[in-house]
Amino acid sequence: MKQSVPVSEIMSKKVVALKRSDNLERAEMLFNKYRIKHIPVVSSDVVIGMLSFSDLLKISFAETTQDEHNVDAVVYNNFTIEQVMSKNIVAINSNTTIKEAATILAEREFHALPVVDEGVLVGIVTTTDLLYYYIKQD
Q: Where are the domains of the chain?
A: 7-136
pTM, to two decimals:
0.86
Instruction: Tell me the backbone φ, ψ of residue 66, rounded to 5 degrees.
Output: -70, -30
Q: Model confidence over 59-87: pLDDT tens digits?
A: 876 554 444 444 456 677 888 999 999 99
What single letter denotes the amino acid at residue 126? T
What SS3 state is found at 41? strand
Coil, helix or strand at residue 40: strand
Residue 75 Cα to chain centre, angstroms: 21
Using alpha carbons, select from 80, 102, 118 the residue that is nearest to residue 11.
Answer: 102
Return the closest-CA partner of residue 124 out of 113, 108, 134: 113
Q: Is the predicted pLDDT of residue 28 greater than 60, yes or no?
A: yes
Distance between alpha carbon 127 and the CA centroid of its chain, in Å?
Answer: 11
> pLDDT, tens digit, for every residue of 97-137?
999 999 999 999 999 999 999 999 999 999 999 999 989 98
Q: Report domain 7-136's class.
A: alpha beta
Say if residues 18 and 41 touch (Cβ distance below 8 Å). yes
User: What per-residue confidence (pLDDT) applies to 68?
Assistant: 46
